[in-house]
Amino acid sequence: MSITVMRKALICFITLALLLVGIPFQNASAKGGSPPQISDSAAASILMDQDSGRVLYGKNIHQKRRIASITKVMTAILAIESGKLNKTVTISSNAYGTEGSSLYLKKGEKIKLKDLVYGLMLRSGNDAAVAIAEAVGGSVQGFTTLMNKKAKELGMMDTNFSNPHGLDNTEDHYSSAYDMAILTSYAMKNPTFQTIFKTKYYTAPNPGEKWDRKWKNKNKLLFQYDYSTGGKTGYTTLARRTLISTASKDGENLIVVTLNDGNDWQDHMNLFNWGFTYFQPTTIVKKGKITGIDDPFYQNHLFARRDLTIPLTAEEKENLKTDLTLKTPPKEDERDVSPSTPVGHLTVTAGDKTLATLPLFYQAKEKKPSFWSDLFNFIHNLFGAASHD
């Protein structure tokens, strides 16, 4: 059961918050604009705000489809999180000669896991994917178990992985545009992943040869689009062209995923440009104490653990509404509230659209030590120190 805290006080609080931390739009006349120019051939597509997870545009975003080599985003982040990037990997007969795009790894050669991840992401090496799976998961099957476990943790409800590279060797390997955007948002929180994702060129040692391996990233947007911060390409005969890309401009970080899109390069740039033009990151609530609360139990005890910042159009900002919902205060003898359990949430809406929900927490005041407690501690410390002289 929940209660809505007095609306008048809430409105005053939210109005004050917007005045203090609202960010003006670069294009004040923009009201959301016409829909972005996106190819009719794209079977599924999504534009997501990387930081808040808000979907700004979507087409068939939850449709389960083959995803080809954008699978390797999951392979890469698991390799990075394994903490084994400096491990030396011996290429097995299973990894050697894996079909499709390849780093042309030699059977029995030794190579750092870090170099394999760069080759995986820049050149989409399927042989590297198998070698990574064996090094991190013990086997391809063991690694796919880790992939699906991570997918479940991230809330990727329309996803199942059966290999680390995305080849069409099974019907049981699929995801959705939304799920892959969620995965990318998660991966981009990792600084090492960010670095690899945006790397244009990489040189890896090539033992036994007089020349090093030199790789150029297959993601053309890194070379053609000024705001590009990374991406991963994919293609198989059944999945057709798939693409994940990220871009940042003026503090706004966006993700685009397209599945089966023959005009993906242009579609990604169009979606990014539309997002940057009509949406502006706006901070609604700052991390810390929530003020303007009249309820005596929650007053001076209600906290937000993070900023609430979401991208808004000018029209949404004008029509922004909020609602604060809190649990009924517990009885006097049951007031030991866990600081890790939300006691309510703030919901942000514009018109009939729910834009975001922020969990809120209860923080009890720290009890100040009494005079006698201070005196006891002083004497204890004094004689305790003397006894060690």
**Which residues are identified as catalytic?**
69, 72, 124
SS3 assignment for the chain: CEEECCHHHHHHHHHHHHHHHCCCCCCCCCCCCCCCCCCCCCCEEEEEECCCCCEEEEECCCCCECCHHHHHHHHHHHHHHCCCCCCEEECCCCCCCCCCCCCCCCCCCEEEHHHHHHHHHHHCCHHHHHHHHHHHHCCHHHHHHHHHHHHHHCCCCCCECCCCCCCCCCCCCEECHHHHHHHHHHHCCCHHHHHHHHCCEEEECCCCCCCCEEEECCCCHHHHCCCEEEEEEEEECCCEEEEEEEEEECCEEEEEEEECCCCHHHHHHHHHHHHHHHCEEEEEECCEECCCCCCCCCCCCEEECCCEEEEECHHHHHCEEEEEEEECCCCHHHCCCCCCCCCEEEEEEECCEEEEEEEEEECCCCCCCCHHHHHHHHHHHHHHHHCCC
Measure the CA–CA gap between 82 and 136, rounded to whole angstroms.
Answer: 7
Both tokens of residue 227? 């705001």
Token pair recorded at residue 24: 């003006």
Q: Which of 157, 167, 195, 201 is nearest to 64 (CA)?
A: 157
* Distance of alpha carbon 179 from alpha carbon 187, whole angstroms: 12
- Nearest CA among 346, 342, 343 for reference residue 320: 346
What is the Cα–Cα distance from 140 to 75, expressed in whole angstroms? 11
Please report, for residues 68, 194, 231, 269, the alpha-carbon distance to residue 222 in angstroms, rounded to integers and kept in the order given: 20, 13, 8, 11
